[in-house]
Amino acid sequence: MNTKPEPSLHPDPLGSHPTRLRPEATARRMGAEREQQVDNGRHSERGCVEDQPQHAVTFKSAAPKAFGGAAAGAPLPQHTAALRADANEFNYEELIERTGYDFGLSRRSFVKVLGAGLLISVSLPALAQESGARGRGDFMGTGAKSLGARIHLGADGSITVLSGKVEAGQGARTELSQAAAEELRVAVGRIQMLLADTAAVPNDGMTAGSRTSPATVPAVRQGAAAARELLITFAIHQWKTSRDNVRIVDGEVTEIAGKRSLTYADLAKSDEAPKLFARAIPSDVELTPAKDWKVLGTPVFRPNARDIVTGVHQYPSDIVRPGMLYGKILRPPAYGATLTAIDLAPAKAMPGVVAVRDDQFVGVAAPNSSAAESALTAIAKTAKWTAAPPQPSSKELFDYLRQNAEEGMDNPYAGEIAVAKALRRTYDVPYIQHAPLEPRAAVAEWNGDELTVWTGSQNPFGSRRELAQAFHISENRVRVVIPDFGAAFGGKHTAECAVEAARLAQGAGKPVSLRWTREEEFTWAYFRPAAVIEAEASLDPRGRIATWHFININSGPNAVETPYAIERNHCRFVRSKPPLRHGSYRALASTANNFAREVFMDELAAVAGSDPLDFRLAHLENARLRAVLVKAADAFLWRKKIKLADASVSFGLACGTEKGSYVAACVEVEIDHSQKTIKVRRVCQAFECGAVLNPENLRFQIQGAILMGIGAALREEVQFADGKILNASFGKYRVPRFDDAPDLDIHLVDRPDLPSAGAGETPIIAIAPAIANAVFRATGQNVRALPIRL
C-alpha cells in the first residue's frame, strides 16, 4: 500500500479496505464480496503426462478476477477471487462471500474521497495480495506468538488454555482440552479452555476445513509440552539435580528418590515465569507419541455438558446486556430489489423504538422483539422498492449454470470415446441450506468507538475484520466473543448479523441483540453451491476404465480428482455464474463430486458386468481407501447381501477421500414404489482419519454427517423463483428427524502411526452415492440428481 487515506476520514491505519476501493460494492450494499482461497481446478499428474495443457497444474495469477453474479439478472454484484497456493497442500477450498456492508463513509463522501484522488493510485495486484493475505489470516491464523498467549498458569493452580477455535458442537473444546492435558500430564478436568475471544486468544484461523485436528491440536500440544518442560527444568534447577532423577505425574514434578515436589502453581509463582512465558513456543519440543497417550485417544465428553442440559449455557442468542434492545432488519422483497424510499416516522413514534436507515440498510431496535416487529411492519408498509432484476429460478438452475460455464468442457479423449464402450452422464446437485438450529445471532455493544460483539461464527478474527471494515475503525477497537453456539456446518463464516447488530447499536446508543428468524437464515445466509457435473468414461475390452473425463461446474474443486487408478484422466472445476450467494458447507464440493463419481462408477460397473465392489477394488491402488472399503463391505456382508437385493429392498456402496481422511459406506434401503418413498434402514460406514483423538467424539461426528448426508440425498433442495426462496421454513424444507435415523454400524479404523486428520466433514461424502446406487440397483433407473427421486 503506498497510499494512505486522509487521517481525519480514516481512523483505521490500515486504510485498505476493498469495500472502500470498489465503488460497485459500496453502491450495492446487499451484494457480496467473495474471497476464494484456492482455485485448483486441475489435471491429475497422470493426466498431464498426456497432451493436456499444463496450465492446469499451475495456479492462475493472483490478479483479481470478477466472476459470478455478473449477468444482468444475477442479484449479486462484484466478486473477487483471491488465490492461495499454500492451501493447496491439503487440496482445500473455503468459499466466503461477505455482504458488502459499509457504514463508515456515506456514498457521497466516498465519491468525494475518490474524486480527491486519495485512493485510486492503489494498483489492482496490490489489492489482490492484500486480499490473499487476509484469506491466509482467516484460514490458517497466526497462532500463538508466545507460550503465554497459549497457556496461562494461575498461582492458584488453574490452567487456562487459549485458542481461537470455536465450539459449534463438533467437539473442538473437548479435543483441545485433551491435547493440552495430555502434554501437561494433568487430568482433562484441570483444563479451562478459553475459546474465541479475540481480546484474549491467539488467532488459530477459522474453524473450518477440518483443520482443528491436524493443525490446532498439534499447536496446543506443542505449547502444553513446552510448559511441561519448563516445569521440569524449573524443578531440576531448584533441586540442582538431573532430569533422570525426576518424573512428572498428574501435573506434579517429584523426585524419584526424594519427597520434594513442584507444581504448575509453583512455576507460576516463580520470578522467572513472566519471562519464560513471553518467549516463543519452541518448535523442537517433544510431543508424546500416540502409543503413550493417556488422555488423547480416549473417549471424553464435552466439559460443559451440565450447562447444556440445564439451559444455563448462554448461546449467542441468549446473551443479555444492561439496557439491551432487540433488533429487526428490513429485508428486500426479493434479491436485487433496491430501496428507493421509506418513512421511518411510524417506528420512531413508538415508545422506546429506534429506527435506523443507512442507504440500503434499514432496521429497528425496541425493548422487546414484538415491539421491534410492530415497528418494522409499520415502516415496511411505507417502503418503495425497485423491481427485482430478472433472475433464474431453481427450475432452470442447471441449464443456467451449464450455459454460463466459463470454460469449454471438451473431452480430450473424444476420439477414443467414439470407438469404445463408453458412458456419458450429467449430474445435478442443488443448492441446500446448512440450517443450523440456532440461526445467526449477535449482541453488539459500543463503548465510545470501541465495539464488542458476541456472535456465533466460525471465523472470530475474520468477523473482527469484517466489523472493523464496515465501520472504518481499527481492528484493535473491535472485540469479538464467540460463545459455544448452535451449529454451523460451514454456514457461519461471515459476520453480516454482527455488522447489522452493531449498526443498530450505534444508532440506538445501547446494546442490541439481533437474532435472525428461521426465514432470514433460509434466505439471507449463504447456500451450499449448486453443481452440474459432466462425466464421461470409456472402458477397455477387459472392462477397465480407459479414459475418464469429469468436470464440476460451479461448486468447486474439492475431491474433483478421482482417487481411482486411471491412467488417462482429466478432472477439473469450471466456474459459472451462481445465481445465489453461495459459500462453504460440510465437505463443500466433495459432496457433489463424490456423489457424481461414485454413482457413475456403479453405472460403469454395470456396463462392465462387474460387481460394484469388485469394480472399485480393481481400480483402487490407494491402500487407505481400499482398507475402509473392504472394512465396510465385510462388516456389511456385502457379497451375501447383494444377492438378496430386489425392487423393494436394495443395497448400495460408495467410498471416497477428502481432506486426508477416508470413508466407505454400505447402505440398505427400502423402497415403497406406490408412495414413491425411500427409507434408509441401515448404514455401515468405515472411516479412517489417522490417529483417533477421541473415539466418542469421532463416532458422533460420523453419525451426524451420515444424518446430514441422508437429508441432502433424499429431500433437501432450495427452491427459488423471481429472487425469492420458496421453501424458507422447516415446514417446507424437511431436514432429517428421528424416523429418518437408520441403524448405524460405524467402524473406526485407527491408525496411531499416522497424523490425525479432521473428521467433521469427510464422513458425509459417501452416503448420498451409496443410497443412489442402492436405488439404481432396485429400479434399474440411473440416478442423475440430488435429491434422489423415484
Partner 1 sequence: MEASVSFVLNGKPQTVVTDSERSLLEVLREDLHLTGTKYGCGEGQCRACTVLVGGDCVPSCLTSISDVNGMEVLTIEGVAGAARLHPVQEAFVAEGAFQCGYCTVGMIMGLVGVLKKNPGASEADALSELQKHICRCGSYAKYLKAVRQVLNSNEGDA
Q: List interacting residues with partner 1 (CB under 8 A).
A: 168-171, 301-302, 305-306, 308-315, 317-318, 320, 326, 368-370, 435-439, 484-487, 489, 515, 517-518, 696, 700, 703-708, 729-731, 735-741, 744
Q: Which of 334, 294, 335 is nearest to 74 (CA)?
A: 335
Q: Is the dihedral of CA 5, 8, 13, 18 positive or negative?
A: negative
DSSP-derived secondary structure letter, 347: H
Nearer to partner 1, 489 or 548 (CB): 489
Q: Euclidean distance between the first and final Cα of the chain, in Å?
A: 57
State the residue for C-alpha cell 447383494: 642
Nearer to partner 1, 322 or 541 (CB): 322
CA atoms of 53 and 408, how far apart (whole Å):
13
CA atoms of 398 and 406, how far apart (whole Å):
14
Q: Is the dihedral of CA 515, 520, 521, 526 positive or negative?
A: negative
CA atoms of 658 and 558, how far apart (whole Å):
7
Q: Is the dihedral of CA 5, 135, 89, 599 positive or negative?
A: negative
Nearer to partner 1, 38 or 376 (CB): 376
Q: Which of 659, 678, 656, 655 is nearest to 668 (CA)?
A: 678
Answer for the pair 62, 15: CB distance below 8 angstroms, yes or no: no
Answer for the pair 475, 199: CB distance below 8 angstroms, yes or no: no
Answer for the pair 733, 522: CB distance below 8 angstroms, yes or no: yes
* Half-sphere CA count of 524, side-chain side, radius 13 A: 24
Question: Least distance from C-beta 148 to partner 1, angstroms?
Answer: 31
Question: Least distance from C-beta 735 to partner 1, angstroms?
Answer: 6
Nearer to partner 1, 369 or 610 (CB): 369
Nearer to partner 1, 60 or 732 (CB): 732
Residues contacting 745, CB < 8 A, separation 6+: 635, 636, 682, 683, 684, 685
Nearer to partner 1, 507 or 709 (CB): 709
CA atoms of 218 and 234, how far apart (whole Å):
24
Secondary structure of residue 768 in the 3-state scheme? helix
309 Cα distance to chain centroid: 26
Nearer to partner 1, 301 or 509 (CB): 301
Other beta carbons within 10 Å of 570: 26
CA atoms of 683 and 742, how far apart (whole Å):
7
Question: Least distance from C-beta 269 to partner 1, angstroms?
Answer: 36
Report the DSSP pairing between strands 325-329 and 261-263: unpaired
Question: Least distance from C-beta 487 to partner 1, angstroms?
Answer: 4
Other beta carbons within 10 Å of 169: 21
Nearer to partner 1, 611 or 740 (CB): 740
Ramachandran category for residue 171: left, alpha or beta (phi over 0 → left; psi -120 to 50 → alpha):
left
Nearer to partner 1, 109 or 368 (CB): 368
Question: Least distance from C-beta 22 to partner 1, angstroms?
Answer: 36
Question: Least distance from C-beta 310 to partner 1, angstroms?
Answer: 6
Question: Least distance from C-beta 740 to partner 1, angstroms?
Answer: 8
DSSP-derived secondary structure letter, 424: E
Answer for the pair 454, 319: CB distance below 8 angstroms, yes or no: yes
Q: Which of 430, 434, 432, 435 is nearest to 518 (CA)?
A: 435
Q: Which three cell numbers stand for residue 211?
A: 483443520
Question: Least distance from C-beta 40 to partner 1, angstroms?
Answer: 30
Task: Quickly list DSSP for 214-231.
Answer: IIIHHHHHHHHHHHHHHH
Question: Least distance from C-beta 194 to partner 1, angstroms?
Answer: 19
Question: Least distance from C-beta 642 to partner 1, angstroms?
Answer: 25
Nearer to partner 1, 319 or 551 (CB): 319
Question: Least distance from C-beta 486 to partner 1, angstroms?
Answer: 3
State the residue for C-alpha cell 473415539: 695
The Cα-based distances of 13 to 83, 120, 469 in angstroms read 25, 17, 11
Nearer to partner 1, 289 or 299 (CB): 299
Report the DSSP pairing between strands 568-574 and 450-455: unpaired
Question: Least distance from C-beta 377 to partner 1, angstroms?
Answer: 13
Nearer to partner 1, 119 or 512 (CB): 512
Question: Least distance from C-beta 32 to partner 1, angstroms?
Answer: 24
Question: Least distance from C-beta 571 to partner 1, angstroms?
Answer: 30
CA atoms of 620 and 301, how far apart (whole Å):
37
Nearer to partner 1, 326 or 638 (CB): 326
Question: Least distance from C-beta 129 to partner 1, angstroms?
Answer: 37
Question: Least distance from C-beta 713 to partner 1, angstroms?
Answer: 13
CA atoms of 710 and 702, how far apart (whole Å):
12
Nearer to partner 1, 153 or 366 (CB): 366
Nearer to partner 1, 478 or 759 (CB): 759
Nearer to partner 1, 609 or 731 (CB): 731
Q: Which three cell numbers stand for residue 460?
A: 472470530
Q: Is the dihedral of CA 664, 668, 672, 677 positive or negative?
A: negative
